[in-house]
């Protein structure tokens, strides 16, 4: 097990799903955590339970909306004030939006998806990278999606935002590798989190379990992913053990993105 005791890692969207699973994985490895989410109630509940389970690790929790530039500046500054450094940044917060075809898509929802998934990730990079440059060290994991490497029916703003995350990841790797900063993106397939449970409800409001079963049957592994499947990959990419992987968009989808 990689020891991350001397690491400070910021996780956005930490109150549930993929962010929470990674928070647990890194807490078990001894990392100091900065947990950011806009759902204050869920964040407080998870921070309380993490502190009970891992009393020796330090946790700073910050309520912030990642689509608000000032709020992003603030979570970065608070992290530096408390810990003096940022070793890892899990740029994870995101939303799916509603499912509709391009011409029917609600414009306000479209803009909201772009604000959170694209601008939120960008603000994070903009304010975290200068600190990592000073340190000559950093590990960044942006969260794209299989929707960042191919199309997904009825999810145009999501797909557009996740392709943008993949693109920003490649550029960050090019521009900041010289400062010891390795930037990658993960591209999860369908991982069973609250977000995906909500998506199955949209696909089949009468019987979301049937939609889930059908989706799983099309995967080469015949199952959906679990948040822990993702957390273990992130834990490697965000640690010092990752010495030379950068600018990659790594699918975590049981191999499904190779099918057509
Ligand atoms: P989730 O909805 O289960 O959890 C997301 C968390 O992010 C929530 O705690 C939510 O409150 C928080 N959040 C959302 N918008 C925020 C904002 N503007 N500011 C601060 N916090 C915010 O979702 P998840 O499945 O864990 O997804 C996490 C990331 O993984 C997202 O970027 C999502 O697009 C991506 N992703 C998920 C899957 C999947 O199958 N679950 C697949 C591909 C990509």
Same domain for 139 and 63? yes
Sheet of 249-252: strands edge to edge? 59-63, 32-37, 8-12, 88-91, 138-143, 181-188, 249-252
100 and 219 inside one domain: no
Ligand 1 center to residue 14 CA distance, Å?
8
Q: Residue 143 domain-assigned?
A: yes
Residue 219, classified by CB atoms within 10 Å of its CB into exposed (0-12), middle (13-18) or buried (19+), is: middle
pLDDT bracket for residue 105 (50, 70, 90): very high
Q: Is 88 in the pocket of ligand 1 (CB under 6 A)?
A: no
Residue 13: CB atoms within 10 A of its CB come to 28
Interacting residues of 218 by C-beta distance below 8 A, sequence separation 6+: 256, 259
The count of domains in the chain is 2
| CA distances in angstroms from 253 to 58, 142, 146, 147, 226, listed in the order given | 32, 16, 8, 11, 10
Question: Any residues with CB less than 8 A from the CB of 132 and at least 6 apart, and which?
Answer: 86, 89, 138, 140, 176, 179, 180, 181
37 near 105, Cβ under 8 Å? Answer: no
Domain-embedded: residue 158: yes
Tell me the C-alpha distance between 76 and 86, whole Å: 9
- Confidence grade of residue 3 (pLDDT, cut at 50, 70, 90): confident
Same domain, 207 and 239: no
Which pLDDT value is given to residue 41?
A: 98
Looking at the structure, tell me whether residues 204 and 129 fall in a common domain.
no
Asked if 90 and 200 sit in the same domain, the reply is no
The pLDDT assigned to 139 comes to 98
Tens of pLDDT, residues 142-195: 999 999 999 999 999 999 999 999 999 999 999 999 999 999 999 999 999 999
Q: How far is the CA of 12 from the centre of ligand 1 (A)?
A: 9
What pLDDT does residue 135 have? 98
E strands along 85-194, which residues?
Answer: 88-91, 138-143, 181-188
Kindly state whether residue 110 falls inside one of the protein's structural domains. Answer: yes
Q: 107 — phi, psi (to 5°)?
A: -65, -35
The answer to the question of residue 256 being in a domain is: no
The answer on 203 and 108 residing in a single domain is: no
Q: Quick: pLDDT tens for 81-95.
A: 999 999 999 999 999
pLDDT at 1 over 60: no
Q: What is the pLDDT of residues 212-260, one digit of tens each?
A: 999 999 999 999 999 999 999 999 999 999 999 999 999 999 999 998 7
Nearest CA to ligand 1 atom 6: 13
- Rounded to whole angstroms, the Cα distance separating 148 from 132 reads 26
Structural domain of residue 199, as residue ranges?
A: 191-224
255 lies in some domain: no
- CATH number for the domain spanning 60: value is 3.40.50.720
Q: Residues 27, 129: one domain?
A: yes
Q: How far apart are CA 115 and CA 133, in angstroms?
A: 26
Least confident of 76-85, 155-164, 202-211: 202-211
Residue 119 inside a domain? The answer is: yes
Q: 231 and 118 in one domain?
A: yes
Q: Are residues 195 and 90 in the same domain?
A: no
Domain shared by 28 and 144, yes or no: yes
Q: Band of the pLDDT at 204, cuts 50, 70, 90?
A: very high
- Assigned domain for 1 exists: no
Residue 11 pairs with which residues in a beta bridge? 35, 90
pLDDT tens digits along 146-160: 999 999 999 999 999
Q: Are 173 and 126 in contact (CB under 8 A)?
A: no
Name the residue of 11, 13, 152 whose CB sits within 8 Å of the most ligand 1 atoms, as the mutation to test its pocket: 13
Distance of CA 111 to the CA centre of its chain: 19
**Do 242 and 199 fall into the same domain?**
no
Looking at the annotation, which residues are catalytic? 158
Residue 257 lies in a domain: no
pLDDT, the chain, mean: 97
Shared domain check, 115 and 86:
yes
Half-sphere exposure at residue 107, Cβ-oriented, CA atoms within 13 angstroms = 0
* Among 10, 11, 18, residue to substitute to test ligand 1 (most atoms within 8 Å of Cβ): 18
In this predicted model, what pLDDT tens digit does every residue of 109-142 receive, in sequence order? 999 999 999 999 999 999 999 999 999 999 999 9
């Amino acid at each position: 097990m990689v020891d991350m005791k001397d690491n400070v890692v910021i996780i956005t969207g930490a109150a549930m799903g993929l962010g929470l699973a990674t928070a647990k994985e890194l807490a078990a490895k001894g990392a100091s955590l900065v947990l950011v989410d806009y759902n204050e109630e869920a964040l407080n509940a998870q921070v309380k339970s993490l502190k009970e389970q891992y009393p020796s690790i330090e946790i700073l929790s910050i309520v912030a909306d990642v689509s608000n530039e000032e709020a992003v500046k603030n979570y970065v500054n608070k992290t530096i004030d408390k810990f003096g450094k940022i070793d890892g940044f899990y740029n994870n917060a995101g939303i799916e939006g509603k499912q509709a075809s391009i011409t029917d898509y609600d414009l306000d929802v479209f803009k909201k998806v772009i604000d959170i998934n694209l601008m939120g990730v960008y603000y994070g990079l903009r304010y975290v990278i200068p600190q990592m440059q000073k340190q000559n060290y950093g590990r960044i994991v942006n969260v794209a999606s299989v929707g960042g490497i191919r199309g997904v029916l009825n999810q145009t703003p999501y797909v557009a935002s996740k392709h943008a995350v993949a693109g920003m990841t490649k550029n960050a790797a090019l521009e900041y590798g010289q400062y010891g900063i390795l930037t990658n993106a993960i591209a999860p397939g369908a991982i069973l989190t609250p977000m995906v449970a909500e998506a199955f409800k949209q696909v089949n409001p009468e019987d979301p379990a049937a939609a889930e079963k059908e989706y799983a049957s099309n995967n080469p592994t015949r199952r959906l992913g679990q948040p822990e499947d993702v957390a273990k990959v992130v834990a490697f990419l965000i640690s010092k053990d990752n010495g030379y992987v950068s600018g990659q968009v790594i699918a975590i989808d049981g191999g499904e993105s190779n099918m057509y």
